Amino acid sequence: MIKVIKDLLFGEPSVSLTIVSLVLTAWLAALTQTDAMVPLWLAIASPASIALSGFYVARQKLNGGD
């Protein structure tokens, strides 16, 4: 738990990017379920944030992190 808090505040951006990507994905899903118009930036940013988060998690694993 302390590592998660430390990573969120000071370290790798993988935890904060994961939270951001979850929020963007939930927002995208909510818009598509209500048949609302999805902004182009959201349609691009949601999968891009997931990919960026995966990159940081993989880099953290390769560098010997938890």
pLDDT at 65: 60
Task: Give the mean model confidence (pLDDT) for residues 31-46.
Answer: 94
Give the tens place of pLDDT for each residue, 22-34: 999 999 999 999 9
pLDDT at 20: 87
Report CA-CA distances (Å) from 3 to 25, 61, 66: 25, 14, 9
pLDDT at 44: 95
Task: Give the mean model confidence (pLDDT) for residues 32-49.
Answer: 93
pLDDT at 27: 95
pLDDT at 12: 66
Q: How many Å apart are CA 39 and CA 30, to the nearest integer?
A: 13
